[in-house]
Amino acid sequence: MENNQSKYIEYVREYAESTGNHIWLGGSFLRGDPTPFSDVDISALMGKETLKAFILGYRETIYISYTTNPEGILIVIYEDGVAVDLEVIESMDVADDRFFHLENIKEHAFRRNSSICKEICQRNDLPYQIARLFHRSLIKYLAGKKETGISIANEIAEFLNNGFNVTENDYKNGITRLIEQYNDQYPLDMKYRNLCCELISRIVSSNERRLS
C-alpha cells in the first residue's frame, strides 16, 4: 500500500503542475514520518468540476464522504487502498508560481469550501458516514495507534447498538463481527468491504501471537 501512496502523490504533483492548480501536501507525508497505512493529506484550491476531474483522474473511488468537524474536508478512498483527506480550499492568496507545494498550508490564511464537499460526496446519510469509520479504525490500529482504532470501532458498535464493545485483546474478531452486523443492516459496497477485510487480514490477533 505504501507504494500506492507514492504513486498517488506523484499523480498529485503531475496534476498540479500540468493543469496549473495549486495543491499542498500535508500530514505525515510532508513531515516524512508516514506508515504503510497512513492516509495522504492534501489541500486543493479548485472549483467543483476541476475537483471532480482531479479525484476521478487517479483511479476508481470506492468511498467518498466528508467531515463535519471541521467542515470542508473530503474523505476519498480508492480501490488500490489509498485513502485521502482532501481539504477543499475556496480562496487564499498564493504569492509564487509553484503549483505543487511542499509546505504547511496552515502557515497561510485561507477559507475552506464545505458546500462543494456535500455536492461531491457519494451519499450523505448517517449510515454511510458511519461506514467510513471501519477503514479509519483499521488504519489507525494497524499504524500502531491501537487505542484510537479501538475507540473508533466502538463508535460503530454504539451506532449499531449491538450490546458489545471491541477490546484490544479481541480487536480482530470484534471488528470482523461489526462489519458483518453492519452489512446485514446496511449493505456495504463490495469493493469497500473487501478492502476492509484485506486490512483485517493483516492484523495479528492475540491468539495468533501466543501460537507464534
Residue 111: give its domain's CATH number: 3.30.460.10
88 and 193 share a domain? no
pLDDT of residue 134: 97
The string over 143-180, giving b where at least 16 C-beta atoms fall within 10 Å of a residue's C-beta and e elsewhere, is bebeeebbebbbebbebbeeeeebeeebbbbbbbebbe
98 and 151 share a domain? no
Q: How much helix, strand and coil, in percent to the nearest 5, is found in the chain?
A: 50, 20, 30
**Residue in 120, 28, 140, 117 with CA at minimum distance from that of residue 67:** 117
pLDDT of residue 124: 84
Q: Is the pLDDT of residue 210 over 60?
A: no
Q: What H or E segment, with its residue span, contains residue 142? A: helix 126-142
Q: Is the pLDDT of residue 206 over 50?
A: no
Q: Is the pLDDT of residue 12 over 60?
A: yes
Which among 104, 120, 136 is the end of a domain?
120
Q: Domain tally for the chain?
A: 2
90 and 7 share a domain? yes
pTM: 0.91
pLDDT of residue 200: 96
What proportion of the chain, given as a percentage, has pLDDT over 70? 95
Query: Domain residues for 201?
Result: 126-211
Helices (H) then strands (E): counts for the chain: 9, 7
47 and 73 share a domain? yes
Q: Predicted confidence band at 97 (pLDDT cuts at 50, 70, 90)? A: confident
Q: What is the pLDDT of residues 17-72, one digit of tens each?
A: 999 999 999 999 999 999 999 999 999 999 999 999 999 999 999 999 998 888 99
Q: Predicted confidence band at 211 (pLDDT cuts at 50, 70, 90)? A: very low
61 and 150 share a domain? no
